Amino acid sequence: MLPELAALPEKWIIKADGEMRVYYEGPNKQTDYNHPTLGPLPKPWIIRFCTEADGKRYPRYFNRHTKKYTTKDPRTDKKTIRDQNQYSSGGPLDTALQTRLTKKDDDLRAFKRQEIANVSLRDQYDIVKVLDDGEGGVGGMNGGVFVVKSKTSPYKLMVEKRFKQPKPSDRDYAVRLRMTKQEIDMLWRLKHSAISFYMAAFITPSCASVYVEFCDRGSLENLISAFATQRRDAQRVGTEKPEMPERFIWHAFATLCDGLAFLMGGRSYLSNDIKNYDPEPGWVPILHRDMKPDNVLLRSRTTVGTKRYFYCVLSDFGLACEDWPKGHPKEDPFQKGLRPHAIGTRHYYAPELLCDPYPYTDQDKNFFPTGQKHSAKSDLWSLAAAMYNLADCGPTMLRHGLTTGAFAHIMGTKQGSLDDGSFFQGTISRKCPLDVSALNVKKKYTDELRDAILLGTRWNPMQRANPIQMVEVLKGLMEQSGFTTHAPPGAHDEELPSWATKVHDYHSLPPLDPSKFGN
Interval 381-397: pLDDT, tens: 999 999 999 998 865 43
Largest Cα separation within the chain, whole Å, is: 81
Q: How far is CA 261 from the centre of its chain?
A: 16
Stretch 445-451: mean pLDDT:
96
| Per-residue 3-state assignment (H helix, E strand, C coil) for 185-250 | HHHHHCCCCCECCEEEEEECCCCEEEEEECCCCCEHHHHHHHHHHHHHHHHHHCCCCCCCCHHHHH
Confidence class for position 304, pLDDT limits 50, 70, 90? low
How confident is the model at residue 485, as a pLDDT? 83
Q: What is the mean pLDDT of residues 50-67?
A: 90
205 vs 203: CA distance, rounded Å: 7
For residue 440, the number of C-alpha atoms closer than 13 Å in the C-beta half-sphere is 7
Q: Which of 16-30, 424-438, 487-501 has the lowest mean pLDDT?
A: 424-438
Q: Pick from 330, 257, 259, 290: which is nearest to 142 by CA?
A: 290
d(CA 486, CA 496): 11
pLDDT at residue 167 above 80?
no
CA dihedral 329, 332, 336, 342 (to 10 degrees): 180
pLDDT value, residue 109? 40
**In the CATH hierarchy, which top-level class contains the domain 220-489?**
mainly alpha
**Confidence class for position 91, pLDDT limits 50, 70, 90:** very low
- Per-residue pLDDT tens over the stretch 198-223: 999 999 888 899 999 999 899 999 99
Predicted local confidence at residue 339, as pLDDT: 84
Q: Report the run of H or E that residue 119 belongs to, with start and end.
A: none
Cβ atoms 264, 285 nearer than 8 A:
yes
For Cα atoms 384, 230, 11, give the angle at the middle one, nearest 5 degrees. 105
CATH T-level topology, domain 122-216+504-517: Phosphorylase Kinase; domain 1 (3.30.200)
Q: Average of pLDDT values for 367-377?
A: 92
Segments making up each domain of the chain, as ranges: 3-102, 122-216+504-517, 220-489
**495 phi and psi angles, rounded to 5 deg:** -85, 155
Q: Give the pLDDT band (50/70/90) at residue 237.
A: very high
pLDDT of amino acid 32: 85
Q: Is the pLDDT of residue 88 over 50?
A: no
Residues 6 or more apart from 253 whose CB is under 8 A from it? 383, 384, 387, 452, 474
pTM, to two decimals: 0.79
Does pLDDT of 421 surpass 80? no
Quick one: pLDDT at residue 171? Answer: 65
Query: In DSSP terms, which residues pair with 157 in a beta bridge?
Result: 149
Between 179 and 479, residue with greater pLDDT: 479
